[in-house]
Amino acid sequence: MFVYVLRRIVYTVPIALGVSIVCFALIHLAPGDPLSAVIPEGASPEAIAQIRAAYGFDQPLPVQYVKWLGHVLTGDFGTSIMTRRPVLSEVAPAIVNTLTLATAAILFGFVLGCLLGVAAGYLAGKPADRVVTAVSITGVSIPHYWLGMVLIVIFAVNLNLLPATGMGEGGSGSFGLGWDSLQYLVLPALTLSVIPAGIIARSVRGTIAEVRKQEFMQTLYAKGLPARRVFLHVVKNALPAVLAVMGLQLAQLLGGSILVETVFSWPGTGFLLNNAIFTRDLPMLQGTILVLAMFFVLINLLVDILQTAVDPRIKRA
């Protein structure tokens, strides 16, 4: 097991390096001048050249990449062009905020998805299964932006039960575990949880239905095991697949949803990226995307290790 984990960790190094190259290259391939937002109206060519040199954009791309990577490895993600604040000091709180939202959303999604998936798996082929399948497909297909607005209109504007936007009266700095704060989490987390819930429900349903068809199930029943014990066996067999789906969904949610975070003014990575894209804040974009990509790689690593721990057959494969 230890060797396997070590090997997986070593594999992540070239992956991380590849991710950094792609992230750097993609942003530079995008059209437009990143300095257009900061170059003053009517600036002379000399002044423009000075500003370009100050941000290091006058260097060839490979040189820019190596310098950037060198700084990143020492924890220096550069300075935002627009705000003049260090990128890391902007990204870190945004990631915490997105993590808060993503965790709540994945919990909602996991609970709802598993309940629906197990029900459909056990009732495979019956009307209830078709209803659950229809609900989960709707969940996957529903546009976040629209759902967020609908939930706001119903619960914040019409029923006046939950707040419409933000992270609380005092902002993210005073966000805590009390209802005063958590009420701000309900609508964005519900909105974000719909897709993972749908995907998890479909995945759980398929896996449960598949496991229940296998021969060892007959053996378990034949041995006289109570239904609850049989269910535990079903869960154990279905868990690796569900874990993989959950890991991927959590990693995707960590990327933040530009639309959901914008609709709810949730100051997470999606909101940050949206802002950085519109202002072409290159250091901010690169830093945020790199950190998020690394989270993605890390979560995949953790899921792989967890899957192996739950089902040793995966290691052998």
Pick the closest to residue 310 from 250, 252, 246 (CA basis). 246
Q: How far is the CB of 4 from other proteins (least distance, A)?
A: 36
Q: Which stretch binds other proteins (CB under 8 A): 70-78, 98-106, 135-143, 160-168?
A: 160-168
* Contact call for residues 86 and 75 (beta carbons, < 8 A): no
- Nearer to other proteins by C-beta: 31 or 62? 31
* Contact call for residues 108 and 201 (beta carbons, < 8 A): no
3-class SS of residue 79: strand
- Nearer to other proteins by C-beta: 38 or 309? 38
Pick the closest to residue 242 from 114, 141, 134 (CA basis). 114
Rounded CA-CA distance 132/141 in Å is 14
- Using CB under 8 A as the binding rule, whether residue 99 contacts other proteins is answered as no
Q: How deeply is 120 buried, as exposed, middle or buried, from its count of CB atoms within 10 A (0-12, 13-18, 19+)?
A: buried
- Using CB under 8 A as the binding rule, whether residue 62 contacts other proteins is answered as no
Q: Which two tokens stand for residue 77?
A: 């993600």
Q: How far is the CB of 140 from other proteins (least distance, A)?
A: 20
- Nearer to other proteins by C-beta: 41 or 215? 41
Which residues fall within 8 angstroms of residue 51, CB to CB, at 6 or more apart?
35, 38, 39, 43
- Give the residue, chosen from 68, 77, 110, 271, that forms a contact with other proteins under the rule CB under 8 A: 271
- Using CB under 8 A as the binding rule, whether residue 12 contacts other proteins is answered as no
Residues that contact other proteins, how many (by CB under 8 A): 61
Q: How far is the CB of 144 from other proteins (least distance, A)?
A: 13
- Nearer to other proteins by C-beta: 183 or 214? 183
Binding map of other proteins across residues 214-233, x = CB under 8 A, - = no contact = -------------xx--x--
Q: Which stretch binds other proteins (CB under 8 A): 129-137, 164-172, 199-207, 213-221?
A: 164-172
- Give the residue, chosen from 27, 82, 306, 310, that forms a contact with other proteins under the rule CB under 8 A: 82
Q: Which stretch binds other proteins (CB under 8 A): 1-9, 82-90, 198-206, 296-304?
A: 82-90
- Nearer to other proteins by C-beta: 90 or 304? 90
- Using CB under 8 A as the binding rule, whether residue 115 contacts other proteins is answered as yes
Q: What is the 3-state secondary structure (H, E, C) of 211-232?
A: HHHCHHHHHHHHCCCCHHHHHH
Torsion angle, alpha carbons of 129, 131, 134, 135, to 10: -110
Rounded CA-CA distance 235/213 in Å is 14
Q: How far is the CB of 40 from other proteins (least distance, A)?
A: 3
* Contact call for residues 251 and 198 (beta carbons, < 8 A): no
- Using CB under 8 A as the binding rule, whether residue 161 contacts other proteins is answered as yes
Q: What is the 3-state secondary structure (H, E, C) of 5-24?
A: HHHHHHHHHHHHHHHHHHHH
Residues that bind other proteins (CB under 8 A): 31-33, 36-44, 51, 54, 82-85, 90, 94, 111, 115, 118-119, 122, 149, 152-153, 155-157, 160-167, 169, 171-173, 179, 183, 186, 227-228, 231, 262-265, 267, 271-272, 274-275, 278-280
